[in-house]
Structure 1
Amino acid sequence: MNAKKGIIYANFVKPETLGSLATTTIAYAILQGITLDEIAQSIDISELDYANQDARLPDPVIGELMNVLVDKLPDRAISMEIAHCAPFSMLGGLVQGAMFATDFESALTWFVENSSIIADQSVVHLEKTDSEVALVVAHPSESLDQGHTLEATAGLIWRLLNTITVPGAPLQKVEFANPKAVPLQPYEEFFQAPVWFHTGRNALVFSIDILRLPIHSANAQMFDFIKQHFANLRQKLNEDRYPAALIPLRRSIMDNAAHGKYEVAAAAAAANLSLRTAQRLAKQHGTSLQKLIDEIRLINAKKFLSNPEINIATVAQLLGYADVRAFRKAFKRWTALTPNEYRKERLKE
């Protein structure tokens, strides 16, 4: 699939991730005796910018890099080792905001609001019950490396929260969506809590009582200043990827996709626009409403196809196709591969 990899996103905006995730992971790889030549055989390291930790990289680079590590060190909990030793700067500027947050809840909310700084396709939210609060994290590309990058990032976030909170942030449990491929013990030793795999979600679960715990270096004035700075940064990142006028429309498409809705009329209605207005808006910005929908379809199609337990007909239904032949034709047009060809290539990696 490498020869055709560039075709996959040819008609779409490319999802990006914070470069510090890659540079930190490469530093770890070198410490494990893996050479840059070995890494360069699998990924294009020319795109990495060690002088700019806030540089943005295409999403696949991070997952492919993690796969190099997993292949070289198959019996080790790589994600937990990285979470244990990586500098907090791997999370970019989000560290400063968390450190100045007024309490634990505001620190959690900080990560929810700014998750796109780490990876612009990430989906992070809080789920609360009467007794628990969970920081739930997902990313469309997590299946590319069986969730290892997401595990490492979640582990580093918890390590930071545990460091800055008075008297610490003990976990109730940890859940990961992907199956466990290595011994469980390193995970439970790192998180100091029960860890469950194949649960359908990635979540750091805390007692609800922890929300009001103070932060060591809380500073409301600095926190407000940093929040404004990051609001501006989020807006700039969105503007760089999408015109501001298209962002509400694209968000509506993503929300609809979560419920299996991919119709153009439904996308317009969810954005409180008439169909004609939504189509005109997309055209004014050099695209079409259907292309915006197909971008999300492609992301989700790749995610579903990476799971061999979901048959192709079911993938088509999940993506809103009544006819599997229409899905095959569309996927071939987007990627130059049939769904079966793409799945076979993914399962080889």
Structure 2
Amino acid sequence: MRASVSTVQDLGMPAIYLHLLAELLNTIGVDERALLLRVGLDPARLKSTDLRVSQAQASEFVTRAIIESGEPGLGIMLARELKLPLHGALGTAVMSSRSLDEALELMTRYLTLRAPHLEVSRREEGDNVLFNVSCSMDLGPLQGFIMDAMLFGCVSMGTQLTGSPVPGAAILRRGPEPGYFHRFRQHIQVPVRYESREDALLIPRANLKLPVRFSDAQLSASSRAKCEEALKQLTEDAGFACRVRRVIETSHPFPPKLARVAATLFVSERTLKRRLQEENASFQNLVDHVRLERAGELLKNTGMNLSQIADVLGYADAANFTRAFKRWTGTSPSHYRSQALQPIKPQASSMRATA
């Protein structure tokens, strides 16, 4: 029996995917900004290629997107927008592979970085190789969307890698053909076989040898190493404090109230505080760390004045922001900006966890 979204370890979803979905909604007449804000997500923060959104918020946004757009084929539409560079280190590693087979091996090994709830297994059947896609949690109505995005995205990936649709490839889907599929059929570059035993990508074994047109041995090695490091970091950052921080990082309004974060993570306020204490963390401490990082980004990368930055970070005025910044770093925001310092670091004693 598969676990539910609320009980499975939440490694988050890359924010950039929700940004792409939001842009897609805009093209079909949905007020994507209002929708994101209702879910408690900051549209501007989703453009980051480094941030991840909690699984609960991502699921809520996608569910609302399908309902409000009235478009059950959003997964197929999103698949067409998934260009390889948007997949971070994994996208780079795949693009620099020598062959399609190597690219798919990388995708199988490091898929957790981009879609933690999905797993890919490989098996051979005659002259074909099947890449079965399964889900470790019960996604309910999201299951079709996720599988559409994944499988049709793989077909698009193959075309991007080799320069044309992979000959003989096919998509296998469990269950009957959905009513919306006929509207997309002519745009799908490979056969799609519904009523199959599994959700899978089928490729003739001989065509796995097709060369990747962006192959680069040096880049492949370095990007694979980055994937290994990112996977290690992601699994190490699986504690409750990291889940809370993900919600804080992408929240609107900022900073979020403790009650809002607790509700997002399906726990009570008391439980949230207790679990953070068990990890020697506190809610306010996490908020302050996120504030400090965002302050550094805004001071270095924008022309916003201190009052504007203070407003973005949830301070009443520039004076309050300046006092907090000096307490954390030992220097003023203006001095930090003028000196173009290295990545910002808090003073050792300035941001201790508090209960």
The alignment's TM-score, normalised by the length of structure 2, stands at: 0.59
SS of 2:120's equivalent? Answer: strand
Task: Mark the CA change 1:166 to 1:192 in structure 2 (over 3 Å): closer, same or farther.
Answer: closer
The AA in structure 1 aligned to 2:234 is L
Structure 2 letter corresponding to 1:59: Q
Determine if contact 1:80/1:190 at 8 Å carries over to the other structure: no
Is the aligned partner of 1:183 residue 2:174? no
The aligned amino acid for 1:83 is A
How do 1:40-59 and structure 2 match up within 5 A?
40=36, 43-46=39-42, 49-59=45-55
| Cα offsets for 1:314-333 (capped at 9, x unmatched) | xxxxxxxxxxxxxxxxxxxx
Please say if residues 173 and 197 of structure 2, whose CA atoms lie closer than 8 Å, have aligned partners that are also in contact. Answer: yes
2:254 matched residue in structure 1: none
2:84–2:95 contact (8 Å) kept in structure 1 = no
138-147 or 212-221, which moves further after superposition? 138-147
Which residue of 220, 223, 226 maps to 1:226? Answer: 223
How many Å apart are 1:73 and its aligned residue? 3.6
How far did residue 207 of structure 1 move?
A: 1.1
**CA deviation vs aligned residue, 1:140-183 (integer Å, no higher than 9, x gap):** 24434132133123322321221211654235321233554333
- Structure 2: gaps spanning 5 or more residues: 241-277, 280-355
Tell me, in whole angstroms, the C-alpha distance in 1 between the residues paired with 2:33 and 2:145: 22
Structure 1 gap segments, 5+ residues each: 244-285, 288-349
Post-superposition CA distance 1:49-69 (Å, at most 9, x none): 234223111223333323223
Aligned partner of 2:161 in structure 1 is 164
Deviations 1:3-62 (A, max 9, x none): xx99x44xx743422212111111111222111465147622248723422311122333
Q: Distance in 1 between matches of 2:200 and 2:25?
A: 26
- CA distance, structure 2, for counterparts of residue 60 and residue 48 of structure 1: 19
Whether 1:108 aligns to 2:104 is: yes
Tell me which residue corresponds to 1:174. 171
Name the CA distance, whole Å, in 1 between partners of 2:141 and 2:64.
12
Name the residue aligned to 2:63.
67
Give the total of aligned pairs: 238
1:130 equivalent in structure 2: 126
The 1-side partners of 2:153 and 2:45 are apart by: 22
- Distance in 1 (CA, whole Å) between partners of 2:37 and 2:111 is 30
Conserved 8 A contact 2:84-2:92: no
Deviates more, 1:42-51 or 1:159-168: 42-51
CA shift digits 1:70-109 (9 cap, x unpaired): 2234356222222224444443332211111011100110
* 37 and 172 in structure 1: CA distance in 2 versus 1, 3 angstrom threshold: closer
**Secondary structure of 1:226's partner?**
helix
Counterpart in the other structure of 2:319 = none
2-structure distance, mates of 1:85, 1:57: 19
| TM-score (norm. length: structure 1) | 0.60
1:212 aligns with: 209
Match of 1:235 among 222, 232, 236: 232
Alignment check: 8 A CA contact 2:19 2:43 kept:
no
SS at 1:174's partner residue?
strand
**Whole-Å separation in 1 of the counterparts to 2:169 and 2:210:** 16
| 8 Å CA contact 1:20, 1:92 repeated in 2 | no
Q: Deviations over 1:219-247 (max 9, x none)?
A: 2222112111111111111111169xxxx
More helix by proportion, 1 or 2? 1
Partner residue in 2 for 1:254: none
CA–CA distance in structure 1, aligned partners of residues 57 and 162 of structure 2: 33
**Is the CA contact 2:155–2:165 (under 8 Å) kept in the aligned structure 1?**
no
SS at match of 1:228: helix
SS at match of 1:79: helix
Q: Which structure would you say has the larger Rg?
A: 2
Q: Give yes or no for contact 1:164–1:217 (8 Å, CA) kept in 2.
A: yes
Counterpart CA distance in 2 for 1:182 and 1:74 is 13
Asked whether the 8 Å contact 1:104–1:213 carries over to 2, the reply is yes
From 71, 74, 91, the counterpart of 2:87? 91
Range with greater deviation from structure 2 (32-41 or 158-167): 32-41
**Cα distance in 2, alignment partners of residues 86 and 67 from structure 1:** 19
Query: Which amino acid is 1:236 matched to?
Result: Q
Q: Percent identity?
A: 14
C-alpha distance 64-171 of structure 1, shift in aligned 2 (>3 A)? farther
How much has 1:218 moved relative to structure 2?
Answer: 1.1
C-alpha contact (below 8 Å) 1:171/1:204 kept by paired residues: no
CA contact (8 A) 1:175 1:197 kept: yes
1:48–1:234 distance in 2 versus 1, CA, 3 Å: farther
